[in-house]
């Protein structure tokens, strides 16, 4: 077999409901829909995603079966987002077996988020900085609440704001490919990593303010360096946690 043929693999036809499922899952995982929120109606999803009702129903059935949404039938019903349920002990056991996956996730995140942050410092608009400062204030408040009462809801509230903060930096880069890559990198990191943390540490909001200051001053090098330091510190925390 020649080299060019050896690189070809069979193409799998992806059912439409799997594409719908991926879009909704992504929104749930990134906290764009939070536990207790209502998803758009079946009709609205059909119009938004430009697919048939049968396709939407197939995707929603999977989400319901996985316990990610609750479906209420009849008048006044709808689709309510449920808090994800994790077995932290089992997740940590699996992560210890697959340390390469953790390394890959953090290296991927560092590569794309540092690049996005550098561009954000170069291209940011006043509205981007205002939104980042608003999120900083919201994260300070959410962290204070979570430190006083470490419920799953309070932890999830902070993590959702944290995701929004990083995605807002990505959007300030004004590079659509980097925006998608940052969202993907955070999904790949938090799906395994976020599951093992049932509580927050007091330093959970560290680095965010200095990153925003560097972006505000259009200091490209400082913004990128601080983001890299932030991600490296997070990785060290996770690896230390898994060694316990």
Query: 192 pLDDT band (50/70/90 cuts)?
Result: low
Of 192, 184, 189, 197, which Cα lies nearest the Cα of 156?
197
Residue 160 is predicted with a pLDDT of: 86
- Average pLDDT across the chain, whole number: 87
Question: What average pLDDT does range 21-40 have in this prediction?
Answer: 85
Residue 109 is predicted with a pLDDT of: 94
Residue pointed to by tokens 């009849």: 74
Residue 195 is predicted with a pLDDT of: 53
Q: Summarize pLDDT for 125-179 with one digit per residue, the tens.
A: 999 999 999 999 999 999 999 999 988 778 888 888 998 999 999 999 999 999 9
Query: 193 pLDDT band (50/70/90 cuts)?
Result: low
Domains of the chain: residue spans and CATH: 16-81 (1.10.10.10), 88-243 (1.20.120.530)
Determine the Cα–Cα distance for residues 52 and 143; give it in Å rounded to an integer: 42
Letter string b/e over residues 43-66, b meaning 16 or more CB atoms within 10 A of that residue's CB? eebbeebebeeebbebbbebbeee
Determine the Cα–Cα distance for residues 217 and 163; give it in Å rounded to an integer: 23
């Amino acid at each position: 077999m020649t080299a060019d043929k050896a690189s070809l693999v069979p193409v799998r036809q992806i059912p439409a409901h799997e594409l719908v499922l991926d879009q909704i899952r992504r929104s749930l995982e990134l906290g764009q829909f939070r536990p207790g929120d209502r998803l758009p109606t079946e009709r609205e999803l059909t119009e938004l995603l430009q697919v048939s009702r049968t396709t939407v129903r197939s995707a929603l059935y999977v989400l319901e079966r996985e316990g990610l949404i609750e479906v209420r039938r009849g008048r006044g019903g709808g689709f309510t987002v449920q808090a994800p349920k994790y077995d932290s002990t089992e997740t940590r056991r699996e992560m210890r077996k697959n340390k390469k996956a953790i390394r890959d996730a953090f290296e991927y995140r560092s590569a794309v988020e540092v690049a996005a942050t550098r561009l954000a410092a170069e291209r940011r608009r006043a509205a981007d900085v205002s939104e980042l400062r608003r999120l900083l204030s919201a994260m300070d408040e959410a962290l204070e609440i979570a430190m006083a009462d470490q419920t799953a809801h309070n932890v999830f509230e902070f993590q959702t704001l944290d995701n929004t903060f990083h995605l807002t930096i990505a959007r300030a880069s004004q590079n659509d490919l980097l925006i998608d890559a940052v969202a993907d990198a955070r999904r790949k990191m938090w799906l395994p990593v976020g599951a093992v943390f049932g509580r927050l540490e007091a330093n959970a909001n560290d680095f965010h303010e200095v990153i925003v200051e560097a972006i505000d001053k259009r200091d490209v090098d400082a913004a990128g360096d601080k983001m890299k330091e932030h991600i490296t510190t997070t990785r060290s925390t996770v690896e230390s946690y898994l060694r316990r």
